[in-house]
Amino acid sequence: MKLEDRIRDIPDFPKKGIVFKDITPLLADAEAFKHAVDLMTEQYNDKGVEVVVAIEARGFILGAPLAYNLGAAFVPVRKAGKLPAELISAQYALEYGFDSVEMHKDAHAPGQRVLIVDDLLATGGTMKATIELVERLGGEVIGIAFLIELTDLNGRRQLKDYQIMSLIQY
């Protein structure tokens, strides 16, 4: 099954000049969605993953079933102001400023083996900030998984010290 056949391009979204990679057709196809999660599961089934950390919001869609399949805990990383308990945060650069992501301080224990999941790797800024959060709590990042990677944006360069897996590359 070619997963990329179920990704829709939306030109000029969220702003002119950007081609948004819409994963909703893949999610709407039960067989394709299951296949994507199964492929990710196969990649990490024997890696001893204890915690799956997923980035808001589309990362949750992939991260939760992946954690379930791996028998691992699930930890959400959220945008600022969305988590209720004591937290840590990390900032990352945008074209026009900065944003931040947050995680609860008790999200995982030091030394736990962590897989971080998101839907798309572009420049790598959000993922780099998430790695910072996991490592500040003492987690061991054993891999980073994406459904899609936009290779022209060189996000791997920021993440070069980590094992990266992406199912679809553009």
Supply the residues annotated as catalytic. 58, 95
Spatial CB neighbours of 26, under 8 Å, sequence gap ≥ 6: 3, 6, 7, 32, 33, 36, 147
Q: Token pair for residue 89? A: 């945060």
Alpha carbon 120 to its chain centroid, in Å, reads 7
32 with 24: CB under 8 angstroms? no
- Rounded Cα distance between 131 and 125, Å, is 10
Rounded to the nearest 5°, which phi and psi values hold at 40? -65, -40
